[in-house]
Amino acid sequence: MIEVRELRDMAEFERVYALFDGIWGFGSGDPPITMELMRALSHAGGYVAGAFDGDRLTGGSVGFLAAGNALHSHVTGATAGRGIGFEVKQHQRRWALERGLERITWTYDPLVRRNAHFNLAKLGARPREYLPRFYGAMEDAVNTGDESDRVLAEWSLTDPHVVALARREPYVTPVPGGAVVALADEGGRPAPGAADAGTVLVAVPPDIEGLRRTDPGTAKAWRLAVRDVLGGLMARGHRVTGFCGKSYYIVEKT
Protein backbone atom coordinates (compact mmCIF):
# COMPACT_ATOMS: atom_id res chain seq x y z
CA MET A 1 0.00 0.00 0.00
CA ILE A 2 1.30 3.46 -0.92
CA GLU A 3 1.53 5.99 1.94
CA VAL A 4 1.92 9.69 1.10
CA ARG A 5 2.99 12.04 3.89
CA GLU A 6 4.65 15.38 4.48
CA LEU A 7 8.41 15.41 4.96
CA ARG A 8 10.30 17.33 7.63
CA ASP A 9 14.01 16.55 7.85
CA MET A 10 17.11 16.80 5.69
CA ALA A 11 17.56 13.04 5.35
CA GLU A 12 14.11 12.80 3.77
CA PHE A 13 14.78 15.77 1.47
CA GLU A 14 18.01 14.11 0.36
CA ARG A 15 16.04 11.02 -0.65
CA VAL A 16 13.56 13.12 -2.63
CA TYR A 17 16.42 14.89 -4.42
CA ALA A 18 17.97 11.53 -5.32
CA LEU A 19 14.61 10.30 -6.63
CA PHE A 20 14.19 13.39 -8.83
CA ASP A 21 17.76 13.08 -10.08
CA GLY A 22 17.05 9.47 -11.05
CA ILE A 23 13.99 10.57 -13.03
CA TRP A 24 15.42 13.64 -14.80
CA GLY A 25 19.19 13.13 -14.67
CA PHE A 26 20.25 16.64 -13.66
CA GLY A 27 23.90 16.16 -14.58
CA SER A 28 25.79 19.46 -14.58
CA GLY A 29 22.61 21.50 -15.06
CA ASP A 30 20.84 23.40 -12.32
CA PRO A 31 18.28 21.17 -10.55
CA PRO A 32 14.69 22.46 -10.26
CA ILE A 33 14.85 22.05 -6.47
CA THR A 34 17.54 21.61 -3.83
CA MET A 35 17.49 19.96 -0.44
CA GLU A 36 18.01 23.35 1.20
CA LEU A 37 15.03 24.86 -0.60
CA MET A 38 12.85 21.87 0.34
CA ARG A 39 13.86 22.49 3.94
CA ALA A 40 12.97 26.18 3.71
CA LEU A 41 9.63 25.56 2.01
CA SER A 42 8.64 22.88 4.50
CA HIS A 43 9.53 25.12 7.45
CA ALA A 44 7.65 28.08 5.95
CA GLY A 45 4.42 26.13 5.46
CA GLY A 46 4.89 25.01 1.89
CA TYR A 47 4.20 21.55 0.53
CA VAL A 48 6.92 18.90 0.58
CA ALA A 49 5.69 15.30 0.52
CA GLY A 50 6.88 11.82 -0.30
CA ALA A 51 5.17 8.60 -1.34
CA PHE A 52 6.39 5.40 0.29
CA ASP A 53 5.96 1.75 -0.57
CA GLY A 54 7.01 0.34 2.76
CA ASP A 55 10.37 2.00 3.42
CA ARG A 56 11.05 2.70 -0.27
CA LEU A 57 10.50 6.25 -1.52
CA THR A 58 8.54 6.03 -4.78
CA GLY A 59 7.36 9.61 -5.35
CA GLY A 60 7.82 13.17 -4.22
CA SER A 61 6.29 16.61 -4.68
CA VAL A 62 7.30 20.14 -3.75
CA GLY A 63 5.03 23.22 -3.92
CA PHE A 64 4.62 26.72 -2.57
CA LEU A 65 1.71 29.02 -1.84
CA ALA A 66 0.76 31.27 -4.75
CA ALA A 67 -1.42 34.28 -5.48
CA GLY A 68 -5.15 33.74 -5.91
CA ASN A 69 -5.60 31.33 -2.98
CA ALA A 70 -3.62 28.59 -4.70
CA LEU A 71 -0.80 26.13 -4.25
CA HIS A 72 1.74 26.02 -7.07
CA SER A 73 3.16 22.52 -7.49
CA HIS A 74 6.70 23.23 -8.64
CA VAL A 75 8.01 19.71 -9.17
CA THR A 76 6.42 16.27 -8.82
CA GLY A 77 7.94 12.94 -9.80
CA ALA A 78 7.16 9.28 -9.22
CA THR A 79 8.34 5.87 -10.32
CA ALA A 80 6.23 4.36 -13.07
CA GLY A 81 3.30 2.06 -12.32
CA ARG A 82 0.94 1.39 -9.42
CA GLY A 83 -0.77 4.79 -9.68
CA ILE A 84 1.78 6.49 -7.43
CA GLY A 85 1.50 9.83 -9.22
CA PHE A 86 -2.27 9.82 -8.74
CA GLU A 87 -1.90 9.13 -5.02
CA VAL A 88 0.61 11.96 -4.65
CA LYS A 89 -1.68 14.44 -6.41
CA GLN A 90 -4.69 13.38 -4.33
CA HIS A 91 -2.69 13.89 -1.15
CA GLN A 92 -1.72 17.32 -2.48
CA ARG A 93 -5.39 18.07 -3.17
CA ARG A 94 -6.44 17.09 0.35
CA TRP A 95 -3.60 19.16 1.82
CA ALA A 96 -4.72 22.22 -0.13
CA LEU A 97 -8.41 21.82 0.76
CA GLU A 98 -7.57 21.49 4.47
CA ARG A 99 -5.91 24.92 4.23
CA GLY A 100 -8.82 26.54 2.44
CA LEU A 101 -7.10 26.70 -0.94
CA GLU A 102 -9.22 26.55 -4.07
CA ARG A 103 -6.73 25.69 -6.81
CA ILE A 104 -3.47 23.93 -7.53
CA THR A 105 -1.41 25.02 -10.51
CA TRP A 106 1.63 23.52 -12.19
CA THR A 107 3.45 23.57 -15.50
CA TYR A 108 4.09 20.65 -17.82
CA ASP A 109 5.48 20.05 -21.29
CA PRO A 110 2.45 20.00 -23.64
CA LEU A 111 4.23 17.56 -25.95
CA VAL A 112 4.52 14.78 -23.36
CA ARG A 113 1.41 12.79 -24.18
CA ARG A 114 1.25 10.69 -21.01
CA ASN A 115 1.45 13.82 -18.85
CA ALA A 116 -1.29 15.55 -20.82
CA HIS A 117 -3.51 12.48 -20.42
CA PHE A 118 -2.74 12.22 -16.71
CA ASN A 119 -3.24 15.91 -15.95
CA LEU A 120 -6.41 16.44 -17.99
CA ALA A 121 -8.13 13.05 -18.21
CA LYS A 122 -7.09 11.45 -14.90
CA LEU A 123 -7.03 14.52 -12.62
CA GLY A 124 -9.35 16.94 -14.40
CA ALA A 125 -6.93 19.88 -14.55
CA ARG A 126 -7.28 22.35 -17.41
CA PRO A 127 -4.61 24.31 -19.31
CA ARG A 128 -4.90 28.06 -18.79
CA GLU A 129 -1.82 29.53 -20.47
CA TYR A 130 0.76 28.49 -23.08
CA LEU A 131 4.26 29.57 -22.01
CA PRO A 132 6.94 29.43 -24.76
CA ARG A 133 10.53 28.78 -23.59
CA PHE A 134 9.35 29.15 -20.00
CA TYR A 135 12.47 27.82 -18.25
CA GLY A 136 15.00 28.89 -20.87
CA ALA A 137 17.67 26.33 -21.78
CA MET A 138 17.45 23.12 -19.75
CA GLU A 139 20.33 20.66 -19.50
CA ASP A 140 18.83 17.66 -17.73
CA ALA A 141 18.78 14.31 -19.52
CA VAL A 142 15.06 14.52 -20.36
CA ASN A 143 14.82 18.06 -21.75
CA THR A 144 18.25 18.82 -23.21
CA GLY A 145 18.24 19.83 -26.86
CA ASP A 146 14.63 21.03 -26.81
CA GLU A 147 12.96 24.33 -25.97
CA SER A 148 11.19 24.51 -22.63
CA ASP A 149 7.64 25.36 -23.72
CA ARG A 150 5.18 24.72 -20.92
CA VAL A 151 1.45 24.84 -20.30
CA LEU A 152 0.16 26.23 -17.03
CA ALA A 153 -2.41 23.76 -15.73
CA GLU A 154 -5.05 24.78 -13.22
CA TRP A 155 -6.74 22.21 -10.98
CA SER A 156 -9.99 23.62 -9.57
CA LEU A 157 -10.27 21.38 -6.55
CA THR A 158 -14.04 21.38 -6.01
CA ASP A 159 -15.26 21.30 -9.62
CA PRO A 160 -17.70 18.40 -10.03
CA HIS A 161 -15.58 16.52 -12.59
CA VAL A 162 -12.49 16.88 -10.37
CA VAL A 163 -14.39 15.51 -7.37
CA ALA A 164 -15.68 12.58 -9.46
CA LEU A 165 -12.20 11.73 -10.70
CA ALA A 166 -10.79 11.94 -7.18
CA ARG A 167 -13.34 9.28 -6.20
CA ARG A 168 -12.19 7.22 -9.20
CA GLU A 169 -15.61 7.57 -10.79
CA PRO A 170 -15.55 7.35 -14.60
CA TYR A 171 -15.57 10.69 -16.35
CA VAL A 172 -14.85 11.26 -20.04
CA THR A 173 -14.77 14.71 -21.59
CA PRO A 174 -17.19 14.59 -24.52
CA VAL A 175 -15.94 15.72 -27.92
CA PRO A 176 -18.54 18.07 -29.42
CA GLY A 177 -19.91 17.14 -32.80
CA GLY A 178 -18.30 18.84 -35.76
CA ALA A 179 -14.82 18.89 -34.25
CA VAL A 180 -12.03 19.13 -36.84
CA VAL A 181 -8.36 18.22 -36.58
CA ALA A 182 -6.21 21.34 -36.41
CA LEU A 183 -2.98 19.38 -35.98
CA ALA A 184 -2.67 15.72 -37.00
CA ASP A 185 0.01 13.05 -36.71
CA GLU A 186 0.72 11.87 -40.26
CA GLY A 187 3.45 9.26 -40.45
CA GLY A 188 4.98 10.52 -37.24
CA ARG A 189 5.18 14.15 -38.34
CA PRO A 190 2.89 17.09 -37.49
CA ALA A 191 0.38 18.05 -40.18
CA PRO A 192 -1.53 21.31 -39.60
CA GLY A 193 -5.16 21.48 -40.72
CA ALA A 194 -8.14 23.78 -40.33
CA ALA A 195 -8.22 25.64 -37.03
CA ASP A 196 -11.27 27.87 -37.48
CA ALA A 197 -14.00 25.49 -36.28
CA GLY A 198 -15.83 25.81 -32.98
CA THR A 199 -14.01 22.75 -31.65
CA VAL A 200 -10.63 21.53 -32.87
CA LEU A 201 -8.34 18.66 -31.95
CA VAL A 202 -4.59 19.15 -31.56
CA ALA A 203 -2.39 16.04 -31.69
CA VAL A 204 0.87 15.48 -29.86
CA PRO A 205 3.46 12.78 -30.68
CA PRO A 206 3.40 9.41 -28.89
CA ASP A 207 6.91 9.80 -27.44
CA ILE A 208 8.55 13.22 -27.70
CA GLU A 209 11.32 12.18 -25.31
CA GLY A 210 12.30 9.33 -27.61
CA LEU A 211 12.15 11.64 -30.64
CA ARG A 212 14.58 14.04 -29.01
CA ARG A 213 17.15 11.24 -28.97
CA THR A 214 16.43 9.50 -32.27
CA ASP A 215 15.08 12.23 -34.56
CA PRO A 216 15.70 15.73 -33.18
CA GLY A 217 14.52 17.33 -36.43
CA THR A 218 11.07 15.80 -36.12
CA ALA A 219 11.00 16.63 -32.40
CA LYS A 220 11.72 20.26 -33.29
CA ALA A 221 8.97 20.22 -35.93
CA TRP A 222 6.46 19.01 -33.33
CA ARG A 223 7.58 21.67 -30.86
CA LEU A 224 7.05 24.47 -33.35
CA ALA A 225 3.76 23.06 -34.67
CA VAL A 226 2.20 22.64 -31.22
CA ARG A 227 3.44 26.07 -30.18
CA ASP A 228 1.90 27.59 -33.30
CA VAL A 229 -1.42 25.73 -33.23
CA LEU A 230 -2.17 25.06 -29.55
CA GLY A 231 -0.32 28.12 -28.30
CA GLY A 232 -1.93 30.29 -30.96
CA LEU A 233 -5.43 29.10 -30.15
CA MET A 234 -4.95 29.65 -26.43
CA ALA A 235 -3.51 33.12 -27.06
CA ARG A 236 -6.70 33.97 -28.96
CA GLY A 237 -8.81 32.98 -25.95
CA HIS A 238 -9.82 29.43 -26.91
CA ARG A 239 -10.22 26.99 -24.01
CA VAL A 240 -8.67 23.54 -23.70
CA THR A 241 -11.48 21.42 -22.30
CA GLY A 242 -9.95 17.94 -22.26
CA PHE A 243 -7.63 15.36 -23.75
CA CYS A 244 -9.19 12.55 -25.78
CA GLY A 245 -8.04 9.20 -27.07
CA LYS A 246 -4.74 9.67 -25.21
CA SER A 247 -3.72 11.65 -28.31
CA TYR A 248 -5.52 14.98 -28.81
CA TYR A 249 -6.19 18.19 -26.92
CA ILE A 250 -9.81 19.30 -27.24
CA VAL A 251 -9.89 23.06 -27.84
CA GLU A 252 -13.12 25.07 -27.98
CA LYS A 253 -13.94 28.64 -28.95
CA THR A 254 -15.26 30.74 -26.09
Give per-residue pLDDT as tens, 14-51. Answer: 999 999 999 888 876 678 899 999 999 999 999 999 99
pLDDT of residue 135: 87
| DSSP codes joined into one string, the chain | -EEEEE--SHHHHHHHHHHHHHHH--TTSPPS--HHHHHHHHHTT-EEEEEEETTEEEEEEEEEEETTTEEEEEEEEE-SSTTHHHHHHHHHHHHHHHTT--EEEEEE-TT-HHHHIIIIIIS--EEEEEETTTT-S--STTTTTS---EEEEEEETTSHHHHHHHTT----PPPPTT-EEEEEEETTEEEE----SSEEEEE--S-HHHHHHH-HHHHHHHHHHHIIIIIHHHHTT-EEEEEETTTEEEEE--
Query: Which class is domain 2-166?
Result: alpha beta
pLDDT of residue 22: 92
Domain boundaries for CATH 3.40.630.30 within the chain: 2-166
pLDDT of residue 98: 98
Q: What is this structure's pTM?
A: 0.93
Q: What residues of the chain score a pLDDT lower than 70?
A: 28-29, 137-145
